[in-house]
Every structure is written in C-alpha cells, then in structure tokens.
Amino acid sequence: MSEDASREEKLIRAPGDLVSRLKEAANREGKTLYNYVAEIFEQAVRAYEMKRNLKYVLDVYEILEVQKEAGAIFTPRDILEYSVERIHQEDDGTLQRLWYQTGKWYGVYLKEKSDYPVDAFIRLLQEGRWDLNEVTVKRNQETLEFRCISPLASQERTLLLRNFIEGAVHSLGYRTLDQECFRGIIRLKFSPKALKQETPHDSE
C-alpha cells in the first residue's frame, strides 16, 4: 500500500490496467478520473453499509435483468395463490405441464445467455425470489441436489415450482433421480444425461 497523506487527499495504489480502463470510462462520461473514482468508492462504501459487496450487488442486478429479459413479472402473491389453488383442483395436468415447459424454456434461455447455465439457474433460484426462502444445492460429478424451502407457498404452488425446476434442470442436461415434495418443501436429485422423454410428475 502506498499512501501520501495531504490535507484532503490520499493516494491509493491500484493495478495499472484497471486504472487505464477507468480513465477511458471516465473520459467517455466526460468526468475526471478523480471524480469518477470518487463515485465508485462512494458506491463501494454504500454497498458495505448495506452489508453487501459490489460483486454481490452486481450479481443480483444481473439476475434481475435475466428475469426481465426472460419475461418474468411481479404479480400479487394472493392472486397467484388463489388462482393456482382453484384451477389446480380441476387441472387435467395442463397447469403442471405449463410450469414444466416454462422451466424448460428458462433452461434453454440460460444455456444461451450464460457460460455456466447451471450456476446461473441456481443463482436465479436463490436470488430471483420465486418466494423461496432457502435454496441449498449440493453438487458433485454424479449428482445435483436441490432443497428449496418456501413457507409461503401452498401445496399446489409447491408442486408447480417443482415442475418448473425440473423442466429447467432437464433442459440443462440432467434427469431426475429422486424427488420429494411437501407443502413449501421441495427436494430434487438429478444426475447428468438427459432422459429420452422428459415429462413432469403428474401423479399428484
């Protein structure tokens, strides 16, 4: 570290390549490097005061952008719950297939958008807030396991969420090995290699 204290300014050492890129960015925005860097540090301090770091905040922002681009929207939870519960009672499997197919679409979309689509999907579940309070993932070469907790979700919506996750993970090249689904709790275990024919569970 190299600091030269003056009355109002200090020197902070930084990698030359980054400084060059920041100079270019500052020029593009018509700002001095000094002001541009000050703004960056102001935001870094702000992120810290939010108990986050800039990387995390940018990651979450990117997920929000993925949601927007993928056509996900916010809707009042009560309306969603009510409609799902009532329609599910008479559903012939259409609703379950719709969630599964939408999940598959997300999987394909993430494959196009990301170099690491499985990681992107996990982050989407963790930070994209499908009303999931907790998403834990265990991953090794043989298996990929999800455990999702959503105390707010009804039994019907839990099943639909499971179908959505299955659809996405199937299109990311995995097949279902095992699954458990209770109200608000989803546990899914996958292994690589897609099934020839993937269908959602429609026995429930």
Partner 1 sequence: MARVDLADKVLEIASRRGTLYDYVNDVLEQAVRAEGLGLQLKEVLDDRWVIKSARDAGFTVVPEKIIYDLIKDAYEKLGKRKMIGLWYETGQWYGKYYEDLAKFEGSVRRFFWDISEFKISMENEHVTLTCLSSKFSETYTELFGKFLEGALNALGYIIDEGEVSKGIISLRFVKSKGK
- By CB under 8 A, the residues from 63 to 102 that bind partner 1 are 64, 67-68, 70-80, 82-84, 86-87, 90, 94-95, 98-99, 102
Task: Pick between residue 84 and residue 148 the one whose CB is nearest to partner 1.
Answer: 84
Region binding partner 1 by CB under 8 A among candidate stretches 14-22, 114-122, 137-145, 170-178: 14-22
Calculate helix-pair angle for 155-171, 94-113, nearest 10 degrees: 40
State in angstroms the smallest separation of the CB of 142 from partner 1. Answer: 30
Q: Which of 31, 108, 113, 131 binds partner 1 (CB under 8 A)?
A: 131
Q: Which two tokens stand for residue 12?
A: 């902070």
Residue with tokens 């870094």: 44
Distance from C-alpha of 88 to C-alpha of 93, rounded to nearest angstrom: 8
116 contributes a contact to partner 1 by CB under 8 A? no
| Window contacting partner 1 (CB under 8 A); options: 9-17, 139-147, 173-181, 182-190 | 9-17
Q: Return the residues of window 133-192 that contact partner 1 according to CB under 8 A.
A: none
Give 42: exposed, middle or buried? Use CB within 10 Å, 0-12, 13-18, 19+. exposed
Three-class secondary structure of residue 20 per DSSP: helix
Interaction residues for partner 1, span 15-54 (CB under 8 A): 15, 18-19, 21-22, 25, 34, 37-48, 50, 52-54
Nearer to partner 1, 58 or 195 (CB): 58
Tell me the C-alpha distance between 183 and 30, whole Å: 55
Q: How far apart are CA 140 and CA 143, in angstroms?
A: 6
Nearest to 162 by CA among 139, 140, 146: 146
CB of 19 vs partner 1, minimal distance in Å? 8
Residue closest to 164 by CA, chosen among 114, 119, 90, 104 = 104
Please identify, among the stretches 11-19, 113-121, 141-149, 186-194, the one whose residues bind partner 1 according to the rule CB under 8 A: 11-19
